[in-house]
Amino acid sequence: MNPMTDYFDMNKNLEAFTKMYPDFTNAAPLKAATDFAAKYREVTVAALNSHVELTTAWMRDAAKDATTLMTAETQPDQYVKKAGEVATAAFQDLPSRLFAYAEVAKKAQFDLMDTMMSAAPKVAEEAAERTKSVVEKTKTAAKRAA
């Protein structure tokens, strides 16, 4: 083969690969990867929904505070007093709100780590079984050829 004039033939290489490993599309690692992707999507959507709920609750509270601040007062010092009360309440509430977001993230991380840890032994076991079956097929083919 002259690399300057001949093109790389992907079809020939793919045919050779499928002869060597005919059950590639149903392979255990591919199934494990799709199972993990499904679990990842599930955890991600759950975390996103929790995040949206937390943010919505925070925005509702902010709207209530805005309503409180926008009510008409007769004395200017009443506006200052209300603004101070709202700001104090918001600052006191901030750590618990941020902690709630952190809990959502922590739960998602634990769920994904649990999925990875439970999948690892299965993948290794299935890969060992696949390897064993391929070795047996290769030995059988070698005996037939001899």
Tens digits of residue pLDDT in 62-83? 999 888 888 888 888 898 899 9
Least confident of 19-23, 51-55, 59-63, 73-77: 19-23
Mean pLDDT for the stretch of residues 91-99 = 94
Tens digit of each residue's pLDDT (9 = 90 or more) over 110-126: 998 888 787 667 767 77
pLDDT at site 5 = 57
User: Considering the chain, what is the average pLDDT of its residues?
Assistant: 83
Higher pLDDT among residues 84 and 8, named by residue = 84
Q: What share of the chain is helix, strand, coil (3-state, %, to 5)?
A: 85, 0, 15
What would you report as the CA-atom Rg of the chain, rounded to the nearest whole angstrom?
A: 31
* Orientation angle between helical segments 28-70 and 76-145, nearest 10 degrees: 180
Residue 28 phi, psi (nearest 5): -60, -45
d(CA 13, CA 22): 13
Is the pLDDT score of 10 beyond 80? no
- CB-count exposure of residue 32 (10 Å: 0-12, 13-18, 19+): middle
pLDDT at site 136 = 85
Confidence of residue 36 (pLDDT cuts 50, 70, 90): confident
